[in-house]
Structure 1
Amino acid sequence: MKTYNIAIIGAGMIGAAHASGYRAHQARLAGANHQFNLHTVCDAREDAAQELARVWGFAHTSSDWQAVLNNPDIDIVSVALPNFLHAEVAAAALRAGKHVLCEKPLALTAAQAKELTELAASSKGINGSVFNYRRIPAISMIKQLIEQGEIGTPTHLLVQYQTGYAADPLLPHSWRYTESRAGGGALHDIGAHAIDIARFLCGDILEIVGATEDTFIKHRYLPLTANAGHSHVTLSDQSAVVDTDDISSCVLRFNSGCQGLFSASRVTVGMGNTLSFTLTGSKGTVLFNSERPGEFQIARASKESGAFVTRANNPAFPYLSDLIPVPHDGVAIGYAEGFGFMIAEFMQAVAENRPYSKGNFADGLAVALVLEAIQHAARERRPVSISEFAGAQP
């Protein structure tokens, strides 16, 4: 029997999401010829690695990611590190023959993402980008309805990702507030998810018609102790410049002719972690808000007199009939379940030795191209075609 040993590199906030997903589905996806083993958690902070391993049942810990990749017993690697380490560690993992699931953004630049995607194409390992919002059953069901023509031809998309984690000026400075280490601010941290959902629903993006970005908290105090995620810690009296965006917005034009409005904010008080969209088609409209992930609203000209109706989770929605403990009408799901569905799909692709198609490195590159185009459009105050970055495409 083949045993796939799993390692998570990065024991911070998002590393826990990966650990939860693997733990939830390791037994469910075991088969007659294969099983999955929670092997190693790696982090430079040994105490963080040990705690994550303890909570989620991983057998080993390490503080050296290169040693983990050199370990022939490791088969699957989740890269859950700060943005500036994604490309380096993911590339090393691919070269070591591992199956790699890498956090977004795939890389700091489109050029780096291209190099990584080309390496992945020649690697024997399965590759995936973390675009977990595709796996929310309501969003996947909306995708099916679009493909079935239920709302006609998509004509306009309003997509937003709003959070408030950085609204407090006393949140300490970290890598997220330095462009050379983060790539961008709200745009790369949360906007990458919104752009992926835009592509998932409406296809490839042709042009950034116009864009703007702003930083409203221009300095933050340096922490006296290590911090993870968006936690508060004791601050020093030294501050550092913030050179990443707090808010980024743009107008999109898709290859299909659909128009789009996009916005990402990390300083919206009251919006903890909210992805929302309104998609209008020639025959109807759909609404989704991640604060209510177990439902969406749809209005169709040919049904219900064009009025909005709410469709709640039911076993006919993707993922719900076989990946939740209680597959019944109206059973709620949340962030952890959707993230776990993504992990389950990746594990299944590895077990079946087939490409992971819904959110692979090529999708990560496509998002990287759009993120870079948005930055150029905002800073140069002009429309930017994605084709201007054709050299970064594989």
Structure 2
Amino acid sequence: MSFKGIAVIGAGMIGAAHAAAYRQFAHRFGDGSAKLDTICDVNADMARTLATNWGFERTEADWKTIIADPNVDVVSVCLPNYLHTEVTLAALHAGKHVLCEKPLALDAASARPVRDAARSASSISGTVFNYRRIPAVADIKARIEAGELGKPVQISVLFQCDYAADPLLPHSWRYEFAKAGPGALLDVGTHAVDMMRFLFGDISEVVGAVSTISIAARRLPVSPTSGHEHVELSDATAKVDNDDVMSGLVRFTSGAQGYVSASRVAVGTGNRLAIELMGTKGTARYSTECPTYFELALLEDGSARAFRKIANSPRSPNVASLAAVPHDLVSVGYAEWFGFMIHEFLDCADKRKAFANGSIEDGYRAAQVLDAIHRSSTEKSPVEVRWID
């Protein structure tokens, strides 16, 4: 089959990642005639700029126009957190193939109707868990499943950013619990929780968690803003009522333990995902700061048990078929990982097969863990993760 049209709803920073990835891979599917159709955003200037930059044909201001358009059958939802549920539900009910940005919803109760709609929909859908497509991470996952690292024992996943470290950045929806949910926890901790589930399986309990608001108030901008840019500020301030840092200790259903931490105020980290996991036969570790390799140490007879570097190569997942330069030690970065995810989503939609590697179900299950971490931090007690089907 072929797609008629592709739309990106939300022209902000992450909308650009979607637009660029569709530009790269949409022509590979069906008869190659799928249109990069629409960029939708209430900010007309942003929508026009994004459409021009990535070759989309038109812009719209109202997302409901996109949902009603029979010539658009693939939709990315790239809006602020509090709008994800409404727009994704509408897209599913309209029969669109839909890829929703993380988090799927502000909490698990809100995510459940989206999960239910995805189960009954005839279209293909998913949650944006693009970090699963890092070649090193996918390689580590394959080694775990093959038993190379033995039985899972412990994992640490840190997602650290510094986009909110400057107190002179303006207040926005990101710093309001009602619109963003738990702050760093939902914004970047969603990726960390998904990474834990991806590598070690389901989590049964949050043993304890702690949150910190390090910047208690921010000044309001003079005019509407997008992203994390410095703008002219007014004298008025608004309270920050969601976390800047959140950390938790978890127990997996397998009996393994894990540590997860999310920060939006870690000066100097930029956008850093760091993973270290230990099994009974070995340890693997990876950081996005060193994208060309991961490190592996295995318990082998006669081995000094030192870490060795496993470099990107054409044998790494996705590299040979999708990377522009599939060569040993050539860096594969954020744009490529994102493109790998979009390619997989379009391939699943083209073949009408489930998008299982980052499904709506995965988004819902991550939401249940995130709820438990937040509850544990506020109640200062362990919280069982109840898998409500």
Range of TM-score over shorter length: over 0.9
Query: Alpha-carbon deviation of 1:35?
Result: 4.0
- Tell me which residue corresponds to 2:5: 5
Task: Tell me by how many angstroms 1:30 deviates.
Answer: 2.5
Residue 213 of structure 1 corresponds to: 211
| Cα distance in 1 for residues equivalent to 2:117 and 2:267 | 41
After superposition, give the CA deviation of every residue in 1:311-343 in whole Å (9 maximum; x if it has no partner): 110111110010012222112111010011000
Which residue in the other structure is 2:346 paired with? 347
Any idea what the Cα deviations from partners look like across 1:290-310, whole Å, max 9, x if unmatched?
A: 111221000001175210001
Secondary structure of 1:305's match? coil
The aligned counterpart of 2:36 is 38
**Counterpart in 1 of 2:60?**
62
What is the aligned partner in structure 2 of residue 290 from structure 1? Answer: 288
Structure 1 partner of 2:188: 190
- Residues 169-194 of structure 1: CA deviation (Å, up to 9, x unaligned): 01100000000000110000000000
The equivalent residue for 2:266 is 268
User: Partners in 1 of 2:49 and 2:368 — Cα distance?
Assistant: 37
Gaps of 5+ in 2: none
SS at 2:84 equivalent? helix
- Counterpart mapping for 1:28-177 below 5 A: 29-31=28-30, 33=31, 35-177=33-175
Which residue number in structure 1 is paired with residue 20 of structure 2? Answer: 20
| Aligned residues: CA RMSD | 1.1
In structure 2, distance between residues paired with 1:253 and 1:213: 19
Alignment-mate amino acid for residue 272 of structure 1: G
CA offset digits 1:350-372 (Å, max 9, x no partner): 10011100001000000000110
Letter in 1 for 2:360: F
Q: For each residue in 1:67-101, what CA deviation from the matched residue of structure 2 results, as whole angstroms up to 9, or x when unmatched?
A: 11100100000000000000000001111110110
In the TM superposition, residue 154 of structure 1 has moved relative to its aligned partner by: 1.2
Matched, 1:308 2:322: no
Contact 1:14-1:80 at 8 Å conserved across structures? yes
Q: Is contact 1:137–1:294 with CA below 8 Å preserved after alignment?
A: no
Alpha-carbon distance in 1 for matches of 2:181, 2:131: 21
The alignment's TM-score, normalised by the length of structure 1, stands at 0.97
For residue 381 of structure 2, what is the aligned residue in structure 1?
382
Moved over 6 A (4+): none
1:106 corresponds to which letter in structure 2?
A: L
Offset of residue 238 of structure 1: 0.4
* Map of 1:361 onto structure 2: 360
For structure 1, the residue ranges without an aligned partner over 5 or more in a row are: none
Contact 1:5 1:37 in 2 (8 A): yes
The residue identity in structure 1 corresponding to 2:149 is I
Please give the alpha-carbon distance, in whole angstroms, between the structure 1 residues aligned to 2:3 and 2:349.
Answer: 11
Tell whether the 8 Å contact from 2:2 to 2:350 is kept in structure 1 after alignment: no
CA contact (8 A) 2:7 2:39 kept: yes
The DSSP-based 3-state class of the residue aligned with 1:330 is coil
Work out the CA distance in 2 between the residues paired with 1:359 and 1:288: 20
Worse-matched range after superposition: 326-335 or 80-89: 326-335
Q: 1:4 to 1:295 in 2, by over 3 A?
A: farther
In structure 2, C-alpha distance between the alignment counterparts of 1:100 and 1:234, rounded to whole Å: 36
Question: Aligned residues, how many?
Answer: 388
Deviations 1:9-49 (A, max 9, x none): 0000000000011111122x234x56432100000001110
What is the CA-CA distance between 1:109 and the residue it aligns to?
Answer: 1.2
**Is the Cα–Cα contact under 8 Å of residues 34 and 351 in structure 1 kept in the other structure?**
no
